[in-house]
Amino acid sequence: MSMHCKICGSSSTERKFKATKQPLGRYSLFSSFEGALSSNCTYKLDIAECASCHFAWNTLFDAVDINYEVLPILESASHAPEYIKFQANSANSLLATLGFEPSRVIEIGGGDGSFISKINAKYRIMYEPSRESNVCNPGIEVRKKYYEPNVDDVNADLIIMRQVLEHIQDPVVFLRTIIKRYHHESTFDDLYIYIEIPSYDQTRKFSRFADFYYEHCNYFSMRSLALLAFSIGAEIVELQTAYSDEILKATFRVSKSKDITTNYQSMINRLKLLIQRISSNNGRLALWGASGNGCTILRSLNEKSCLIDLVIDNDTRKQGLYIGGSGHKIVSPNDRKVLCINHIIIASQLHVKEITDQAREILGPDIKIFAFPFESI
């Protein structure tokens, strides 16, 4: 199949499921037997799956076929006690992940407003074209329309999209448009995007053909949802499964100040200030880890002075050798010189816990330890 994945761009895709004469999966309920038999069953499914990220989509989907303003929506989830409880727990979990109370929240496709009602914010705005929004909490500003990312409100510090992206024909373009406008128009420094979506990993695991229906044009795996963040230039704050692994939950963060070059240099400057502060207080500092990371840190600092006293590494093959460019000799954690150290910077993000445990075992609980982003552990 000569088509590229919408998420990762891979051309390694193949057809996984085909079906014709399909009704609308969620909106095919009629008040009469005759109406049900005469309903429109002309929709088609041709599901392609990316072999690289396991994103899947209906290649025959056309958004003009679906009009949520007139379709009769009967959401079973809104009447299920366990799901209602799940929504409340998800809202509380989201607020805990954010670590602050958002000021202006926008929910796209908010249904009856059950979720956004549980988010405390000064301004709460919900876009929902269907009749579900008629029962929404009066404290929510309801805009009864489809959300159009190129024209509608982006001024928020939190945008919620629950059970939405599976309906969006091009989710990458949709989100990129929001983010582009956020950078130019929003008054907030940071934008958090909260996503819930059905897990395609479960569909694949159990060969659940019943998960395929026309209104759902996209099917996200955990991997493809993570790659979506990369595609739109967002940072992943949280990514997990929920509700017996049937739902994928993600919180992405976009920052106006996020410039990679600037952030890299600012992180170097942050490290330099930390080292200078330790040195000015007569601290004795070691860098633990003589891997590529440790060597890069030393070269980035132009560290040829004695501000970093030692470089420590557990690898006996490296002990006794010298770091190129800085000249630091690599020593064993058991070297007697290590006993004079009272501050440690961990160079390897892969071994933070084991190095921390080992350092405290050797030097005691009062040893001050720092790791990326050069904060105290």
**In this structure, are residues 303 and 328 in contact, taking their beta carbons and an 8 Å threshold?**
yes
Q: In this predicted structure, what is the pLDDT of residue 258? A: 55
**Tokens linked to 296:** 């890069």
**In this structure, are residues 351 and 377 in contact, taking their beta carbons and an 8 Å threshold?**
no
Residue 156 predicted with pLDDT over 80? yes
Residue 320 predicted with pLDDT over 80? yes
Read off the amino acid at residue 178. I
Using CA atoms, how far apart are residues 231 and 80, in angstroms rounded to an integer? 35
200 or 299, greater pLDDT: 200
**In this structure, are residues 340 and 307 in contact, taking their beta carbons and an 8 Å threshold?**
no
What is the rounded average pLDDT for all residues in the chain?
87
Using CA atoms, how far apart are residues 112 and 238, in angstroms rounded to an integer? 26
Per-residue pLDDT tens over the stretch 203-252: 999 999 989 988 899 999 999 999 999 899 899 999 999 999 999 999 99
Q: In this predicted structure, what is the pLDDT of residue 2? A: 47
Lowest average pLDDT, out of 36-40, 260-264, 309-313, 345-349, goes to: 260-264
E strand spans, 222-316? 235-242, 247-255, 285-288, 310-312
Domains of the chain, first to last: 13-61 (no CATH), 76-255 (3.40.50.150), 260-376 (3.40.50.720)
Q: Which residues sit opposite 195 in a β-bridge?
A: 161, 250
Per-residue pLDDT tens over the stretch 274-297: 888 888 788 899 999 998 888 888
Q: Three-state SS for 375?
A: strand
Q: What is the mean pLDDT of residues 26-47?
A: 76
Q: In this predicted structure, what is the pLDDT of residue 71? A: 57
Residue 107 predicted with pLDDT over 80? yes
Residue 355 predicted with pLDDT over 80? yes
> Model pTM?
0.67
At 76, the pLDDT band (50, 70, 90 cuts) reads: very low
**Tokens linked to 328:** 């630091």
Residue 260 predicted with pLDDT over 90? no
